[in-house]
Structure 1
Amino acid sequence: MPRLGQGYVWQDLQVGQCFRTFRRTVTETDLVNFIGVTGMLEAIFIEDGYEGAAMAGRPVPGALTYSLIEGLILQTMIQGTGLAMLELQQKIFAPVVVGDTVHAVIEVTAIRPTSRSGRAVVSSRIDVWNQKQQLVMSYLAKRLLAGRDPR
């Protein structure tokens, strides 16, 4: 019986295939919880209106934006099928601040089956956009994904 919410096995993906995630608004609570658990207690993140800030608003660490997007991907695309993150190359193009709403477009760029257990290394490009349709982050990811159960 199919399981609701199950992610894609690598055989269900094709090079060039694209997906768009749901959107997620970054909240003050997200920022406070993230910097608290990671120890990223920089003044620009903990002090509203910090004098030395290079920009207006409450900036959030790029790592928080990345984590929120990975959460959206995990909950939908790779739930139960993602086995490991193998490689990550990331570029940040614009800041994200509390109140911004982000989403991502994922493009499958390569699929390389492994010799073990029907698994494959799936490469993808993930572009992260804000509510103004501005590209804020882009990263390349290589993940180990499960294959279809041969039983």
Structure 2
Amino acid sequence: MTQTALPDPATLNAIPRMGQGVYWQDISVGQQWRTFRRTITEADLVGFINVTGMVEAIFIDAAFESGAINGRPVPGALTYTMIEGFILQSMIQGTGLAMLELHQKILGPVLVGDSVQALVEVTAIRPTSKSNRAVVTSQITVYNQRQEVVMEYTATRLLAGRP
């Protein structure tokens, strides 16, 4: 088997990176994306509880009788982090520098077996005076498989500019 030699570093760096996020110059106010949809499983809930220590009875006891929600509710933080994972893997991978501010409203329950996805809309872009960066604000609307809005949040991030 012959082995192909890699191009020199300058040529290699000029090849687009798979999964690279967007630079602030390549987006505009009003631009929208929708994430993939993902079904939240019992394994997701258990893993999240184990990592975070959120051992509240409504999350750890499938037969908990005093809860206000029927079914297996999941923490809002789990829903949020799943959506942020989609955003990281697509919009801000390699270009997101910092989460600066977050305002979140949980509007409805998410249960094990629900499928969630989000609509992301850029609402503001403010270039900084330093290092080819911009502060980008987005409105994220999370909804379930029945098109019910279960969460809304505004995220303000620092994004890198084109090299």
How far residue 34 of structure 1 moved from its aligned partner, in angstroms, is 0.5
Q: Is the counterpart of residue 110 in structure 1 residue 124 in structure 2?
A: yes
CA distance in 2, matches of 1:55, 1:113: 44
Which residue of the partner structure matches residue 69 of structure 1?
83
Q: Is the counterpart of residue 36 in structure 1 residue 68 in structure 2?
A: no
TM-score by length of 2: 0.90
Gaps of 5+ in 1: none
CA contact (8 A) 1:49 1:57 kept: no
Select which of 28, 38, 41 maps to 1:24: 38
CA distance in 1, matches of 2:71, 2:25: 44
Q: SS state of the match for residue 68, structure 2?
A: coil
Instruction: Specify the code of the residue in structure 1 equivalent to 2:125.
Output: I
CA distance in 2, matches of 1:144, 1:55: 37
**Deviation string for 1:69-120 (max 9, x for gaps)?**
0001100111110000000000011000000000000000000001111000
How far residue 4 of structure 1 moved from its aligned partner, in angstroms, is 0.9
How far residue 136 of structure 1 moved from its aligned partner, in angstroms, is 0.2
CA distance in 1, matches of 2:53, 2:17: 37
Which residue of the partner structure matches residue 4 of structure 2?
none
Instruction: Specify the code of the residue in structure 2 equivalent to 1:89.
Output: H
Q: Is the counterpart of residue 50 in structure 1 residue 64 in structure 2?
A: yes
- CA RMSD in angstroms, aligned pairs only: 0.5
Q: Is the counterpart of residue 6 in structure 1 residue 28 in structure 2?
A: no
Identity over aligned pairs, percent: 69
Select which of 142, 150, 160 maps to 1:136: 150
Please identify the structure whose Cα radius of gyration is greater: 2
How far residue 49 of structure 1 moved from its aligned partner, in angstroms, is 2.0
How far residue 55 of structure 1 moved from its aligned partner, in angstroms, is 1.6
Instruction: Specify the code of the residue in structure 2 equivalent to 1:50.
Output: F
